[in-house]
Structure 1
Amino acid sequence: MHFRFILNFQYNYIMDELNQKIYDKAVKLLSVRLHTTGELHRKLRTRSFRDAEILPVLRRLEELRFLDDERFAQIFVDNLKRYKDFGFFGIKAKLLSRQIPTEMAERALEEFLTPEDEKKIAERLLKKLKRQGRSTYEQLARSFQSRGFRGEVTQKILNSNPEWRNKF
């Protein structure tokens, strides 16, 4: 009985030590920038930790609200909306590349990226593209499409210029 207790204690101590090592690495990664659960899981896996060791640590970080994919998605959408020139589908692709679940990404987009917001981003991009010398309808339409703008937004922006009206 006593021997089994000692082995069990040593096993728990080793597991706690390993969990602490994973936890410390995860917190260090989170101190640099926010991560999604999927990103952090992937990074910890590349450091040779196993899923069985990683998952309890991720759950604990979620309990402590150090990891919160929903909050990450909201902040990420808001930052892209303010500082970058991506449309609805471009932002959605970026969220998915950060391993945000599709339903969560769509909720964040519905809540934090209105069609009016997307139109303002498109207007900002149009000015930038014109300064860069892109002035034909086709060049501009391709630029909007490659940045993930919805077709109706591209159409509204490009048709607001009389020279291109009704080409799209």
Structure 2
Amino acid sequence: MKQRITLNASQALERLATACAKTEYCEDDLRRKMKQWGVSDEHHDEIIESLRAENYIDDERYCRAFVEDKWTFNHWGKIKIRMALRAKHIPDSEAEEALQMISDEDYRDVLSQILHQKARTLPDVGDYEKYQRLIRFAMGRGFEPEVIRECLEREAADE
């Protein structure tokens, strides 16, 4: 069985600084790590402020990186990205600002592309059933219903 380690504030600060130098973390992620390491709660704010002062963490920078990654690699829609950021306690204003990076044209193009890929994998069912499955799939990816409908109608018109 793995033993749980307990770190003091300076050890935690050192480890978190090293981790933040390698990749972007938000405050919520760091608090979770500190809790996992057994760092006392009274030191959490002090460590976070120290990391923020040294520019190791920046919520705006984290937000931009998170949106870019989830959009580029996972093809998540804006709703799913917004919810994931909200779960990490990122302010809505910063999330909205980061989501502005995604152009409407790219957004619709990627949605059309993933809908087309998904449509090829569906069994030969009726048009209505296929339409419903594609809507559920795209909504699960976090795309807005009106954008989904628009892409599906455009796809149907092209056929």
Specify the TM-score bucket, using the shorter chain as the normaliser: 0.7 to 0.9
In structure 2, the gaps of 5 or more residues are 1-6, 125-129
**Are 1:137 and 1:164, in contact at CA under 8 Å, matched by a contact in 2?**
no
Match of 2:140 among 140, 146, 161: 146
1: CA distance, partners of 2:144 / 2:16: 37
| Letter of the structure 2 residue corresponding to residue 112 of structure 1 | M
1: CA distance, partners of 2:146 / 2:158: 15
Task: Report the counterpart of residue 13 of structure 2 in structure 1.
Answer: 23
2: CA distance, partners of 1:158 / 1:33: 38
1: CA distance, partners of 2:31 / 2:117: 38
Larger radius of gyration: 1
1: CA distance, partners of 2:103 / 2:84: 17
Q: Following TM superposition, by how much is the alpha carbon of 1:58 offset from its aligned partner in structure 2, in angstroms?
A: 1.0
**Are 1:37 and 1:67, in contact at CA under 8 Å, matched by a contact in 2?**
yes
Query: What is the aligned length?
Result: 148
| Letter of the structure 1 residue corresponding to residue 52 of structure 2 | E
2:39 counterpart of 1:45 = no
Task: Report the counterpart of residue 137 of structure 1 in structure 2.
Answer: 131
TM-score, normalised by the number of residues in structure 2: 0.80
Q: Following TM superposition, by how much is the alpha carbon of 1:120 offset from its aligned partner in structure 2, in angstroms?
A: 2.0
TM-score, normalised by the number of residues in structure 1: 0.76
The Cα RMSD (Å) is 2.5
In structure 1, the gaps of 5 or more residues are 1-16
